[in-house]
Amino acid sequence: MQPSISNNTLINDIQIYYEIYGNGFPLIMLHGGGSTIQSSFERIIPLLTKNHQIIAIESQAHGRTADRNSPSSFTQDAEDVAQLMNYLDIKKADILGFSNGATTALQLAINHTQKVNKLILGSPLAKRNGVPDWFWGFMANASLDNMPTLLKEAFLKVNPSEDALKNMHDKDAARMINFKDISDQDLQSIQAPTIIIIAEQDVILPEHGKELERLIPNGQLAIVPGVHGEYYGEITTVGPDFMDEDLPVAMIEKFLK
């Protein structure tokens, strides 16, 4: 499916790439770490475009978005989203995030409360204990060689630069290694109705989903079948038996009504 608009716009001193699909109340989509719009959301965008105007954004150093001479951070990514909303004259939107994009969505809801209508958080990480202990050792030893081939290919398809790919990988890994907990106070300040989606075989622990459901005042938790990102049709989860009807679109649409 082709977007009606695809563009790079100068936001906070870097060129931010975004795509717009469909019409209706805005739904901003924030991809996972190491990903692009297509590798996270290519399967689900056509299904959600039927009822929403989709604005899908690539974050700093990812895909077609430029980098800045500073480390990546979820707070900065959220500021980029907020300023792009201003540029597009979007006063308020629903926000859908996946993995790192869901953590960015949390920061947007904390720091720009008035811009967020409803939150859909796919596999969000808010605290270091939200993943198994092995995760942090894995990140400390992260190597581009170990990055999933499908994600590397998706990046190079839209940005054919091996240097840019390595830069993105290394910045993402550093961001995770240095990850700090989001405070209970900040999570409790989120006013937007929120659904937290965790897969049964997710890297995010179900206990973390329950903790977020408890801390976010209008939070609800959905534990769905599959692995990390399968509920969005993320590229590394799509097998030969994949069917659009297996995606929880009806649940998402019911929440957004």
Give the pLDDT confidence of 219-243 residue by residue, as tens digits: 999 999 999 999 999 999 999 999 9
In the numeric block, the tokens 């717009």 are attached to 20
Q: Mean pLDDT over residues 41-70, rounded? A: 97
Q: Mean pLDDT over residues 171-180, rounded? A: 96
**What backbone torsions phi and psi does residue 192 show, to the nearest 5 degrees?**
-70, 140
> How high is the pLDDT of residue 1?
85
Domains, the chain, ranges and CATH?
Answer: 5-256 (3.40.50.1820)
Give the pLDDT confidence of 177-224 residue by residue, as tens digits: 999 999 999 999 999 999 999 999 999 999 999 999 999 999 999 999
CA-wise closest residue to 68 among 168, 156, 155, 144 = 168
**Cβ atoms of residues 119 and 193 within 8 Å:** yes
Give every strand in the sheet of 14-21, ordered side by side. Answer: 5-11, 14-21, 53-58, 26-30, 93-98, 116-122, 194-201, 219-227
Q: Mean pLDDT over residues 11-36, rounded? A: 97
Q: Sort residue 13 into left (φ over 0), alpha (ψ -120 to 50) or beta.
A: left
pTM (global) more than 0.85: yes
What is the enclosing helix (H) or strand (E) of 29? Answer: strand 26-30
Q: What is the mean pLDDT of the chain?
A: 97
Instruction: Inform me whether the pLDDT recorded for 171 exceeds 90.
Output: yes
> How high is the pLDDT of residue 207?
97
Question: Maximum distance among all alpha carbons in the chain?
Answer: 44
